[in-house]
Structure 1
Amino acid sequence: MAKAIIFDIEKAQLLNKLFNIIMIQHKLIKLLIFCIVVFTHQAIFAQYTITGRITDAKNGDPLPFASVGLKGLNVGAQTNFDGVYTIKTKFLSDSIYVSTVNYKKKSKAINKTVTAQTIDFQMQAEAKSLDEVVVYSGENPAFKILRRLRENAEKNDRKRLTAFEYDSYSKMELDVDNISDKFKEKKIMKQIQGAIEKFEKIAGEDGKAVIPTFISETLSKFYFRETPNRKKEVVLKNNIKGVGVKEGSFISQLVGGNIFANYNFYDNFVPFLGKDIISPVGNNWKGTYAWYISDTTDVDGHICYGMEFDPKNDKDLVFVGKAYIDTTSYALVQIDATIGKQANINFIDKIKISQELEKTEEGAWLPAKTRFLIDIAEISKNSAGMLLKMYISNKNFVINQPRDLPFYDIPVEVAEDSKEPDPNFWLNARHESLSAQDILAAKLIDTVRNVPIVKTYVEIAEIIASGYKRFGNKFAVGPYINLFAVNSEEGLRTRFGFKTLAGFDKKWILKGWLGFGTKDLVFKYGGEMDYILSRRHWTVAGIKHSYDLERIGLTPELIGDNKIFYAFTRWGRFTGAYYRRESEIFLKTEPTKGISFNIAFTTRNFDPLFNFQFRTQPELGPKSPSLDGYDDSFITVEARYAKNETFLMDGNERISLGAKRIPVISIVYQHGMKGVLGSNFNYQRITAKIYQSFRVGSFGRSDYTVQAGYIPSELPAPLLFPHLGNQTLFYNRAAFNTMHFFEFVSDKFVSLNYNHNFEGLLFNRIPAIRQLKWRLIASANVLFGSQRQDNLDLMKEAIPVINPRRTFDKDGNPIIRPRYNFSALEPNIPYVEVGYGIDNIFKIFRLQAFHRLTYLDHKAPNGDLPQSFALKASVHFSF
């Protein structure tokens, strides 16, 4: 009985344990079921977010229009204008990839344990093959879209607006890139090694470091008027930091951006760096580019065709890239256009222009965002390159409310209180937040520019570029090109000059120079004092005086702005030399944009060192008295018309950016005043000049200069029109390059100088030399001129003048000097020369041959035979 009770108790305890085990398992099962339900719910309803930025690995430039997708899934996105993408999905794959035009496809692993992550890509460029042939059964479907774009261009193009204005924010950065390991070993780079390491870290695992040398932010207002064509940018605020940059008005005018980067792809050509690049959506879209449709997508609410374009010849001045065209209005909504180093442009690895446009209430589209990049190639393998990047954001558009014409007189105007370094101001003012690299760049520029060796390099570069050594912002010494010369009259000639800068005074400008020759032992000198009456209408009054040795037919007023050519004419055999003492008082003004006047009173004398005389009473023939020099006082009135010419102010100097495509016309009238300050002559002198540069479609660019002059008065030959010859080895665009100095003189003439640059039209299509980027050039110079018999008789033999200073040397020995033969052209036989050659040899040399076609038997003034053939060279830097 006892055993039975004990067994029942043990059985009960065992059953109880089994029950407890069952209950625990039940709870575990319930918990497991709960967890399964929870995780299943999360798996079904979870939202994963992946964001990132796609950039060029070499230069950090954002890549718009890049396709981003999850491998193995039909899930993806496209980067926006700033290269940013966002993917939201319920399902993840193992990796994410990026694909875009002209870059290698790339992928990265995805972390599946987090719901939000950032994955950036630095993309490596890849040359795109242009050898593929796409065959369509019928017409390429892209052609229909592009024809519709051109048909609707008139209503979509901003040119339909009478005026527009907007608020603008721009950011500019200049960097050193392509920093090789050998270049890092240079002394200058070792001193900024810390900066390099920081930028290598922020560039990303595949990116290359760039070292910032300049960065700026600018707030401005931009104004445009269509008829007449005017534009203006008012810089309101800016913050500028740079190595070797002297903050001031000139730099502030450059960083605004809109005055230079207002690109319009509806035009047939997009101007950039002085080049005319064929627009992919201009009228020549079919003859120059290969097009195809890549996709259709939503761009800021506009359903657009994605269109890719390639050049048919990548050596031409053409783009490659992608454009988005609205499917309803056929307007250009976005474009990303790149020029590679294959194109016939010097010193450039890449040019890239990206633009996003916004539709206005009138239907026309205006640029809302623009980004451009210039990747300047390194000169050698052991050097570094440069990278210029600019971003412009525009908003608050106001259309069809043109301002009065005087409002546009100053194209770029900087507010008095424009400098704004306060970072708190820019936090709210800028349209887009700065990237981490932008913030670091601004901090490191101060470090880089304070390195002593950097300061030295910057100073040397400034002297080479400007010709002057500056001392602060008050004085400058130079120009160095005139420091010395060696010639037959002066021996070793030295000259030292100076000028004051805006820091000295913003109204007064002082200039002066002193020269001396070791052979003639004569001091030469010059001085000038100017006063700026108005900057808005650029009105300057001044007075100047000089005493110098000049050459007949090679005076500064005849040569013009070609200071290098003028400096070289002071070397070697110095024929036709004379001393000239000159005084002048003048007034220059521009009362309205594009029209300027110059009024001056001048007195000068002519004191030749060669055998020279002219008849004072030519009616007496050989019995006429004569003079071997003269005094001349005259008034000059010059009117100049240059529509759309743009100027920038550099301190107290005004710098012209040229007048594109519009002829520049000038007319000069001079009136000689006999008896005033001993002047020997009364006369009238009229000259006119027209200059224009223009594009000849795809055949390149031409420029011409037409000049004409007339003197109805009787004057000695040096006061007539001496035609500019060229006996130097250097090419001069304004000269007759097979003509001797002062070989021909006219009292009435008309001339044409025509030059054409075929760019790469011919050499780009020759396989053996297309990589050299040579450019074929051609020119023709024609001159019609003559002299009246009265002026010819004036220069004939007369009673000689006995001038002890010119007839005998210091030891009393007679001096025999040749007499010049001042020849005239035959009225019905023009002087003609033609030229041809190659430009862009080794990117800096120009070599041009000239053939003289007429006056082959004519002798120069000194008796030399004519140059029937001449080979001229020049060195110039151009893109």
Structure 2
Amino acid sequence: MFLLRPRAYFLVGLLLILSTLSAVAQQVRFAGRVTEAKSGKAVPFASVFVPGSSQGTTADENGRFTLTVAQPVDSLGASALGFTPLKKAVGTQPTQTVNFALGGGGGFTLGEVTIRPPGEVENPAYRILRLVQAHKNKNNKRSLNTYDFDSYNRLQVFLANMPRDPEEGSLFEQIQNVADSLGALGDTTSGRVALPIFASEAISRFYVQSQPRLTREEIRHTQMHGLAPREGSVLSQIMGTSFQDWDFYRNWQQLLGKDFISPIADGWKFTYEYELQDSVFLGSDYCYRIAVEPRRPADLAFTGLIWINAETYALRRVDLKVSPSVNLNFADNIVVQQDMVASSAGPGLPRRTHVELGVKPLKKSPAFRAEFTTINSDFVVNQDRPAEFYTLPIETLASAYETPPGFWETHRPDTLTAREQGTFATLDSVQRLPEVRTVLDIMDIAVNGYYRAGKLDLGPVLSTYAFNSIEGHRFQLGFRTTPAISRNWLLRTYLAYGTRDGRFKYGAQVSRILDRRTWTVATVERRHDIEQIALLDNAYALENPLFEASARLGNIRSSRPLLRELTSVSLQSDLFRGFTQKVTLRHQQFRPLYPFAYYTDEPRPGAPTEDNFTLSEIVLESRYARDQVLVQSQTQNRRYSIGLMRWPVFTLRYTMGLNNVLGSDFKYQKINLLVTQSVKFGQLGRTDYILDAGYIPSTVPYPLLKNHLGNQTPFYNAGAYNLMRYFEFVSDKYVALQLENHLDGFLINSVPLLRRLNWRLLVTGNVLYGGISRANRAINPTENQFGEPLPTFQALGRTPYAELGYGIENIFKVVRIDFIHRLTYRDSPGARNFGAKVSFQFKL
């Protein structure tokens, strides 16, 4: 290193100043406007450049531009999509005005490749996207108070990638022979074919209120072909517009339980690359055609084309697909195409939507491919209706399945292709094959757990046999009635027997649907069976089938079994959409099948004790789910929640125990609040949380307190404390927060070697604050009258119970492994401070 002397500093500085002055003296500034030669209208986003160099700029939306060059040039050029490029001679003056009038307007091809060096010329598509954002509120259909329309929906499902020569005599050969004779196989040159297995059509009227968002769909006509679900089932109802409501003005598009970012989302520039390709007419609308692709191929984003109206900057058309690099299980070849039309009030509404989705379990295995087509018409906007109108989100009219001959040919808004006509004819033929009916029965058992036998459903099939340490071999038979017997009455019943305890168990439940619009249902239930205290009052947590099966089988003595006799009467109804009220009168008798006792008098040594108890209760429950979509299954007389909800779900439950009523032993109160929600955090994935709080201001034995659900099984359960033992902690006042954040491909997608594995990261956390009163500690003795110890429990201290976990899901597409650390109460007897849990899940 060397130092410059002061004189050298002066010479260097002088040279820099002189060179700067020289450069300034040679600069030339051009300004002007680019217009159409014929009309004089501005040409927005035209390119202005110095021919033969990389110097250039882009005009604004009014065709105006400024361009400064470092030294005099002899000419300037301008070009735009659909126009003939033009060059003009220029002088050497420091400031000049140059206007261009381009000819050849209205063409649809790019006349010249525009050079846009990085850092020198802004991508012209960016200016269009900024204007899309500026006009977003005006063009968004959510700015309409209400809108409704007629909707036609067609769904076709194929079994793709099938061999051209299937096994002789198989069901696939029978379907293929029929399809081949009717021209429904399509291209067979590759030696692989796509067999049609299911198709449906539906015509409905769809109603939407924007604030608050309420929807109603009346399915007026529907038909199904092939391996179809039973008419009136949940699947038959969700084929309508409800699941084709693509809205790219929203930042996130929910597809297959994932959140894909829209190409016109608020953060568009950080997720997508854009290329302005051309300007074209779509009907009478002059539009910019822009290519989009994700900056990072593995992001949950789309690639393809979007068309933007050049006058209103509204989204006019999309032709998008999901990149094969996206971390999705089983899904293959996802395509979304949509055309928008301006409503009478301005904002656009979807006129036609076409979606293709493939599901392939393995790379070389056959795949299911579904094609959805939705065509909307007869739009009516801003026609207000009372909130009661939207009480029933989806309703299938009783006459929906009764269509006269030729109805669909005259009411279908488009024309079927020759292959589609062959598909419908094929499915009508194969639906009568005995093998097809067998497949339908198997599918019904897999989905509903029951086997349809005439007018009865036999099952649940999975409960037919079990083995545990109390009952030994347990055999069970049961059934439920179907709407074929009655649409308003439902009977469920079962009878079970254990070879070790020699007891018969039974259960029966009768429900009467009083009003389907408000889903007012009265239910009477009687049950005599073995239950487990560890699983009582924790029904919401039993969402993992492996955990539930493991907890109920084998040695169940650690979960403190008891014989429970239950009689209950309940009535529930929706006061308004999403707000459900339920009242239950319940009488229960508990006979513990393990050493148990509680003081019946003032808790003290030698006081009288009892080992069983009776309860009479009133249970009041209010549940509010603002955006929940419920559909009614006419084949099961039930309703189901479908789709993801953006708003939290609140459930408030109050239980009052009545003393000396029908032999009851306790007077007590319980209050419980449960809040659940799934929250999207952009690129950081989705977080599911459960907030659970409760208070029992009464003195009762510990089976009536809150027994926090532990997990001594090897299987992970999101609703349990996975390193807590059964009955390790009991509370009469508590608040708990359980979190599960699915990061999807975040971080892992950035590592090339790991990206190929398609693994996904997740983080979990459980925190529980709780306590128990001195009276509730004292009512449960620690030993019986013979001085023998009794099973006991402990309460939380000032420190909360806490777990922190991390894991990997999507291993072999179905395996999830969680690694969990216990952060508090690590020195408790028998405590496990670290554990690994496994679970199996089928997520796309």
Corresponding residue for 1:727? 712
Query: Which runs of structure 2 are paired with 1:76-87 in the superposition (5 Å)?
Result: none
Deviation at 1:255, TM superposition (A): 2.2
Q: Structure 1 residues 362 and 202, CA, compared in 2 at 3 Å: closer, same or farther?
A: same
Deviation at 1:841, TM superposition (A): 1.1
Q: Structure 1 residues 817 and 414, CA, compared in 2 at 3 Å: closer, same or farther?
A: farther
One-letter amino acid of the counterpart of residue 369, structure 1: R
Query: Which runs of structure 2 are paired with 1:361-376 in the superposition (5 Å)?
Result: 361-376=344-359
Give the conservation status (yes or no) of the 8 Å contact 1:326–1:332.
Answer: yes
Match of 1:432 among 404, 414, 424: 414
One-letter amino acid of the counterpart of residue 518, structure 1: T
Query: Which runs of structure 2 are paired with 1:270-419 in the superposition (5 Å)?
Result: 270-379=253-362, 381=364, 383-419=365-401
Deviation at 1:180, TM superposition (A): 2.6
Deviation at 1:338, TM superposition (A): 0.4
Rounded Cα–Cα distance in structure 2 between residues aligned with 1:352 and 1:487: 49
Corresponding residue for 1:748? 733
One-letter amino acid of the counterpart of residue 738, structure 1: L
Corresponding residue for 1:697? 682
Give the conservation status (yes or no) of the 8 Å contact 1:552–1:742.
Answer: no
Rounded Cα–Cα distance in structure 1 between residues aligned with 2:543 and 2:167: 40
Give the conservation status (yes or no) of the 8 Å contact 1:554–1:566.
Answer: no
Match of 1:254 among 235, 238, 248: 238
Deviation at 1:634, TM superposition (A): 0.8
What secondary structure is seen at the aligned counterpart in 1 of 2:605?
A: helix
Corresponding residue for 1:638? 621
Q: Structure 1 residues 360 and 271, CA, compared in 2 at 3 Å: closer, same or farther?
A: same
Give the conservation status (yes or no) of the 8 Å contact 1:351–1:375.
Answer: yes
Q: Structure 1 residues 302 and 720, CA, compared in 2 at 3 Å: closer, same or farther?
A: same
Deviation at 1:682, TM superposition (A): 0.6
Moved more, 537-546 or 565-574: 565-574
Give the conservation status (yes or no) of the 8 Å contact 2:782–2:791.
Answer: no
Corresponding residue for 1:30? none
TM-score, length of structure 1 as denominator length:
0.80
Unaligned runs of 5+ in 2: 1-81, 83-108, 110-115
What secondary structure is seen at the aligned counterpart in 1 of 2:406?
A: helix
Give the conservation status (yes or no) of the 8 Å contact 1:244–1:459.
Answer: no
Match of 2:660 among 660, 668, 675: 675
Moved more, 551-560 or 324-333: 551-560
Deviation at 1:193, TM superposition (A): 3.4
Deviation at 1:763, TM superposition (A): 1.5
Q: Does 1:867 align with 2:837?
A: no
Give the conservation status (yes or no) of the 8 Å contact 1:709–1:747.
Answer: yes
Match of 1:149 among 112, 115, 132: 132
Give the conservation status (yes or no) of the 8 Å contact 1:643–1:662.
Answer: yes
What per-residue deviation string (whole Å, max 9, x for no partner) do you get for residues 769-824 of structure 1? 212211101110000101111111111357738xxxxxxxxxxxxxx986211211
Give the conservation status (yes or no) of the 8 Å contact 2:544–2:717.
Answer: no
What secondary structure is seen at the aligned counterpart in 2 of 1:210?
A: strand
One-letter amino acid of the counterpart of residue 788, structure 1: S
Give the conservation status (yes or no) of the 8 Å contact 1:219–1:238.
Answer: yes
Rounded Cα–Cα distance in structure 2 between residues aligned with 1:742 and 1:186: 57
Corresponding residue for 2:649? 664
What per-residue deviation string (whole Å, max 9, x for no partner) do you get for residues 726-767 of structure 1? 111111111000011111110100000011000111211111
Corresponding residue for 2:227? 243
Deviation at 1:420, TM superposition (A): 4.5
What per-residue deviation string (whole Å, max 9, x for no partner) do you get for residues 423-458 of structure 1? 522232121111111111111112222333333233
What secondary structure is seen at the aligned counterpart in 2 of 1:145?
A: helix
What secondary structure is seen at the aligned counterpart in 2 of 1:640?
A: strand
Deviation at 1:232, TM superposition (A): 1.0
Corresponding residue for 2:64? none
One-letter amino acid of the counterpart of residue 774, structure 1: W
Corresponding residue for 1:549? 530
Rounded Cα–Cα distance in structure 1 between residues aligned with 2:259 and 2:235: 25
Q: Structure 1 residues 285 and 659, CA, compared in 2 at 3 Å: closer, same or farther?
A: closer
Corresponding residue for 1:23? none
Give the conservation status (yes or no) of the 8 Å contact 1:584–1:600.
Answer: yes
Give the conservation status (yes or no) of the 8 Å contact 1:665–1:688.
Answer: yes
Corresponding residue for 1:589? 573
What secondary structure is seen at the aligned counterpart in 2 of 1:622?
A: coil
Give the conservation status (yes or no) of the 8 Å contact 2:160–2:195.
Answer: yes
Rounded Cα–Cα distance in structure 2 between residues aligned with 1:544 and 1:287: 57
Rounded Cα–Cα distance in structure 1 between residues aligned with 2:363 and 2:482: 36
Corresponding residue for 1:878? 843
What secondary structure is seen at the aligned counterpart in 2 of 1:678?
A: coil
Give the conservation status (yes or no) of the 8 Å contact 2:782–2:792.
Answer: no
Rounded Cα–Cα distance in structure 2 between residues aligned with 1:183 and 1:561: 42
Q: Structure 1 residues 584 and 688, CA, compared in 2 at 3 Å: closer, same or farther?
A: same
Q: Structure 1 residues 540 and 655, CA, compared in 2 at 3 Å: closer, same or farther?
A: same
Deviation at 1:845, TM superposition (A): 1.2
Corresponding residue for 1:37? none
What secondary structure is seen at the aligned counterpart in 2 of 1:738?
A: coil
Tell me which structure has the larger Cα radius of gyration.
1
Corresponding residue for 2:794? 823
Match of 1:717 among 697, 702, 713: 702
Match of 2:176 among 190, 193, 196: 193
Q: Does 1:509 align with 2:490?
A: yes
Q: Structure 1 residues 707 and 136, CA, compared in 2 at 3 Å: closer, same or farther?
A: same
Q: Does 1:843 align with 2:813?
A: yes
Unaligned runs of 5+ in 1: 1-75, 77-98, 100-132, 802-815, 860-864
What per-residue deviation string (whole Å, max 9, x for no partner) do you get for residues 124-151 of structure 1? xxxxxxxxx9847421111111111111
Moved more, 756-765 or 172-181: 172-181
Deviation at 1:717, TM superposition (A): 0.8
Corresponding residue for 1:233? 217
Q: Structure 1 residues 483 and 276, CA, compared in 2 at 3 Å: closer, same or farther?
A: same
Moved more, 480-489 or 544-553: 480-489
Q: Structure 1 residues 414 and 595, CA, compared in 2 at 3 Å: closer, same or farther?
A: same
RMSD (Å), alpha carbons:
2.2
Match of 1:627 among 577, 585, 610: 610
Identity %: 35
Deviation at 1:846, TM superposition (A): 1.0
Give the conservation status (yes or no) of the 8 Å contact 2:765–2:802.
Answer: yes
Corresponding residue for 2:453? 471
Q: Does 1:778 align with 2:778?
A: no
Q: Does 1:138 align with 2:121?
A: yes
Match of 1:455 among 417, 434, 437: 437
Corresponding residue for 1:128? none
Give the conservation status (yes or no) of the 8 Å contact 1:706–1:750.
Answer: yes
Rounded Cα–Cα distance in structure 1 between residues aligned with 2:167 and 2:178: 12
Deviation at 1:251, TM superposition (A): 4.5
Rounded Cα–Cα distance in structure 1 between residues aligned with 2:117 and 2:601: 85
Give the conservation status (yes or no) of the 8 Å contact 1:634–1:673.
Answer: yes
Give the conservation status (yes or no) of the 8 Å contact 1:481–1:567.
Answer: no
Give the conservation status (yes or no) of the 8 Å contact 1:618–1:793.
Answer: no
What secondary structure is seen at the aligned counterpart in 2 of 1:259?
A: helix
Moved more, 328-337 or 494-503: 494-503
Rounded Cα–Cα distance in structure 1 between residues aligned with 2:571 and 2:541: 19
Q: Structure 1 residues 523 and 362, CA, compared in 2 at 3 Å: closer, same or farther?
A: same
What secondary structure is seen at the aligned counterpart in 1 of 2:128?
A: helix
What secondary structure is seen at the aligned counterpart in 2 of 1:840?
A: strand
Q: Structure 1 residues 850 and 451, CA, compared in 2 at 3 Å: closer, same or farther?
A: same
Q: Structure 1 residues 485 and 259, CA, compared in 2 at 3 Å: closer, same or farther?
A: same
Give the conservation status (yes or no) of the 8 Å contact 1:200–1:209.
Answer: no
What per-residue deviation string (whole Å, max 9, x for no partner) do you get for residues 342-365 of structure 1? 211111111111110001222211
What secondary structure is seen at the aligned counterpart in 1 of 2:356?
A: strand
Give the conservation status (yes or no) of the 8 Å contact 1:559–1:566.
Answer: no
Rounded Cα–Cα distance in structure 2 between residues aligned with 1:393 and 1:308: 25
Rounded Cα–Cα distance in structure 1 between residues aligned with 2:624 and 2:274: 43
